[in-house]
Copies of this chain bind each other. A is one copy, B any other.
C-alpha cells in the first residue's frame, strides 16, 4: 500500500487522533448503554443472555489489498461475523472491531474501512452498531471482529439438533464466492502473476455477482431468525464450503446429511468456501421460511452423503492448505 507523501497516516496522526476521526463514521448500536470511549462498553441483554462470536481476517490468507478495497474489508469483516450470529437464530446487535495495521496506513483507508463496517450494518442488520474496538500497529494487517446478538427469548439454534427425517435446506448463494475467488486468482493478476487492482476492477464489471459474493458478501441474515421461528432443529453459517459445513451438522447431531446434487447445483456449490449462506435442518412438513430451499434430507448414520452415496472429498477453502504465502 503506497501512500502519497504528505498524506496523513496511522503513524503521523497517532492512535487517539485516528480513533477520533473514525468513530463518528460508525453506527451506534441501539442496545449500547455505554458506547466507545471508556475502558469497556456496556450493552443491554434484554432476555438476560447474549450471543458472542469472533472471526479474524488476515492480509494474505484472507484478503489481498489489490483486490479488496478498504470498504470491502470493513463490509466483509462485519458480514462474516453477523452471519455467525444469525446462524444461532439471533438478531445481530453490536460489533467490537480490533484493527492491526501498518504504521504507514493512510487514515483515509481506515475511514473507508469504517464506512464499510457502517454500510454492512445498515444494509444487513439495522440497529447493529460498533460499540468499541482497538487499533494497533504491525507490518501485517489484521481485522478481528467480535459480534453480539440477541435471541429475543428464543432457544439458540445449534449444530447438534438435526434428526433423521428432517429436511436439509439452505438460504443464500452457494459457490458464488468461490467462483469470485477463482476468477481473481485466474484473471485478477498482472503479467507476472501479481494481484492487480486494475484487473480486479475489470472483473467487477464483467462478473459483478461473483466478485461481490467474494469481496463484499450479503448473507441472508434475516433468514436466521426466520429459521428459528419456523422450528429449525440445527443451523450454521456456511463459511468453509457446503460439504465441510454439512458434515459439521452431521457430526454434531450424530446423523447423516444426504444432499441432492441437482438441488445443490454445480460442483462448486458443494465445495466452494465463504458462501455465508445459512444451512439448516427443519422438521419434515415445515413450510420453508424466507429464502430457504430444500437441498437434502437427514438420515440415520453418519457423515455426508450426496445422492445417497458417501462423499469424502474435502472441499472448501482452507488457508492452512491452500494459501500460497503471498499477500498482494
A131 smallest CB distance to B (angstroms): 7
Q: Is the CB of A134 within 8 A of B55?
A: yes
Q: Is the CB of A41 within 8 A of B45?
A: no
Mark interface residues in A94-114 (1 if CB within 8 Å of B CB, else 0).
101010100100000000000
Q: A90-B40, A137-B61, A142-B100 are in contact. Are A45 and B50 (CB under 8 A)?
A: yes
In Å, the complex CA distance between A323 and B15 comes to 14
Q: Is the CB of B137 within 8 A of A320?
A: yes
A132 contacts which chain B residues (CB < 8 A)?
Answer: 52-54
Q: A40-B84, A90-B40 are in contact. Are A131 and B34 (CB under 8 A)?
A: no
Stretch at the interface among A151-159, A193-201, A263-271: A151-159
Instruction: Tell me if A225 counts as interface (CB < 8 A to partner B).
Output: no
Q: Is the CB of B84 within 8 A of A39?
A: yes
Q: Is the CB of A320 within 8 A of B11?
A: yes
Q: Is the CB of B159 within 8 A of A60?
A: no
A309 smallest CB distance to B (angstroms): 24
A138 contacts which chain B residues (CB < 8 A)?
Answer: 58-61, 140, 142
Q: Is the CB of A41 within 8 A of B49?
A: no
**Among B50, B134, B236, contact of A56 (Cβ-Cβ < 8 Å):** B134
Most buried by B among A10, A52, A156: A52
A-B complex: 9 closest residue pairs judged by Cβ atoms: A45-B45, A40-B53, A144-B144, A39-B87, A140-B140, A39-B84, A146-B146, A58-B138, A54-B96
6 examples of A-B residue contacts, CB within 8 angstroms: A33-B49, A40-B52, A43-B49, A47-B48, A52-B146, A61-B138
Which residues of A are in contact with B by a Cβ distance under 8 Å?
10-11, 14-15, 33-34, 37-56, 58-62, 84-85, 87-88, 90, 94, 96, 98, 100, 103, 131-134, 136-140, 142, 144, 146-149, 151, 156, 158-160, 235-237, 252, 318-321, 323
